[in-house]
């Protein structure tokens, strides 16, 4: 076993604090065995945590659901297998909103997730455990998924970087779906250089050549949120509605609230969203990237989140999801960035990933 690999794994495991709720399953023995094989590659020695929505062979994968409490996959999802092939070492599976359907940072079956620097707040979700693990030093990088903001929101709450890949850029095989037309892989880390290594981007372009807009510089078309959620619900209902109706005890109260909402006119919603995408791209003419807030306000408090769950309301979720779904409706990549003015997200079309990282790095440095 290399000293560096062993030391990194042990140091990460020593930071695991059950009170933060970052992990559903930790497997120190497997991590140390993996380190003993001296993995090479561009990610050599990086300690990896994986959202418990993503299959890992031989390691329990619950999807955040009691129904899968004892589920152990026989195959590892390609997104994780590729990272392992490059030398990353998996230490465990991170907590999440049930089936990734939520952004509260609370799972009624596996517990609360808490922001390491302020334990009275949750990291949001659904990849909340991944963000907590990164922020607390329990890993160097974490895999998440982002269907409506589920990487960027917890990254913003925890003060780390969260990159949402373009839709379809990374295979979703072995990842439990939520809304397949919007589901994307994402990665969380404490620095842009780690994300560079994960995304295999050898060099970032100089930012002086990147034209960046804010909402003050362009006239963005209003986001048709109702139509977006109509399309979203049509997909998620297909996966969960019948099962939740027949086996209600398998689902938390918050999912029952979401799965009881009317779907709406899907064909009309798709047509509206198609026109909106055309108008959105036109509005950015002359610019390469767009910078927006991640959400208004601060990370949600534990009190707010638990009150919403108890009262079967979605006030906190509605606030956290007021901006991020735009990117999923576009299918674009985006990066949540901690800045001195609060978290921001850098957005651009597919192919601008290197520029997104470069601008994000610049913003984070002030």
**Marked catalytic residue, from 65, 93, 104, 126:** 126
User: Rounded distance, CA 80 to CA 9, Å?
Assistant: 17
User: Rounded distance, CA 177 to CA 146, Å?
Assistant: 11
Contact 243, 250 (CB under 8 A): yes
Does residue 362 sit in helix, strand or coil?
Answer: helix
Q: Which residues make beta-bridge pairs with 235?
A: none
Residues 6+ apart with CB under 8 A from 28: 9, 13, 91
Residue 328 phi, psi (nearest 5): -70, -35
Measured CA to CA in angstroms, residue 60 lies from 65, 93, 125, 220 at distances of 12, 8, 20, 44
Strands 212-214 and 334-337, by their bridges, are unpaired
65 is catalytic: no
User: Rounded distance, CA 65 to CA 74, Å?
Assistant: 18
CA count, 13 A, side-chain hemisphere, 45? 10
340 is catalytic: no
**Marked catalytic residue, from 127, 150, 184, 317:** 150
Using a 10 angstrom Cβ sphere, with 0-12 exposed, 13-18 middle and 19 or more buried, the burial of residue 267 is exposed
51 is catalytic: yes
Measured CA to CA in angstroms, residue 321 lies from 111, 173, 325, 360 at distances of 21, 26, 7, 21
Q: Kindly list the catalytic residues.
A: 51, 126, 150
């Amino acid at each position: 076993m290399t000293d560096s690999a062993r030391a990194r794994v042990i140091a990460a495991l020593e930071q695991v604090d059950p009170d933060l709720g970052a992990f559903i399953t930790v497997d120190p023995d497997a991590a140390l065995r993996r380190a003993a094989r001296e993995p090479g590659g561009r990610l050599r020695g990086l300690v990896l945590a994986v959202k418990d929505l993503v299959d890992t062979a031989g390691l329990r994968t619950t999807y955040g659901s009691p129904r899968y409490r004892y589920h152990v996959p026989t195959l590892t999802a390609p997104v994780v297998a590729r990272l392992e092939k490059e030398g990353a070492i998996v230490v465990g599976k991170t907590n999440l909103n049930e089936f990734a359907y939520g952004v509260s940072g609370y799972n009624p079956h596996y517990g609360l997730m808490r922001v390491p620097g302020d334990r009275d707040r949750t990291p949001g979700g659904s990849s909340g455990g991944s963000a907590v693990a990164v922020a607390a030093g329990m890993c160097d990088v974490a895999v998440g998924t982002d269907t409506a903001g589920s990487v960027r929101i917890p990254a913003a709450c925890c003060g780390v970087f969260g990159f949402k890949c373009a839709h379809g850029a990374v295979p979703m095989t072995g990842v439990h779906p939520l809304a397949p037309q919007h589901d994307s892989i994402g990665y969380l880390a404490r620095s842009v250089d780690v994300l560079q290594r994960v995304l295999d981007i050898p060099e970032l372009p100089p930012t002086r050549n990147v034209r960046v807009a804010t909402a003050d510089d362009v006239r963005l078309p209003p986001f048709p949120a109702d139509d977006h959620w109509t399309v979203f619900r049509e997909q998620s209902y297909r996966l969960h509605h019948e099962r939740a109706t027949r086996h209600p005890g398998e689902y938390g109260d918050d999912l029952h609230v979401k799965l009881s909402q009317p779907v709406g006119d899907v064909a009309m919603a798709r047509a509206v969203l198609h026109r909106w995408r055309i108008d959105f791209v036109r509005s950015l003419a002359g610019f390469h990237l767009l910078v927006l807030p991640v959400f208004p306000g601060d990370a949600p408090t534990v009190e707010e989140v638990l009150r919403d769950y108890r009262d079967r309301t979605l006030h906190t979720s509605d606030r956290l999801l007021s901006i991020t779904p735009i990117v999923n409706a576009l299918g674009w990549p985006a990066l949540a960035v901690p800045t001195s003015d609060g978290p921001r997200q850098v957005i651009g079309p597919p192919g601008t990933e290197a520029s997104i990282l470069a601008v994000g790095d610049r913003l984070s440095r002030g």
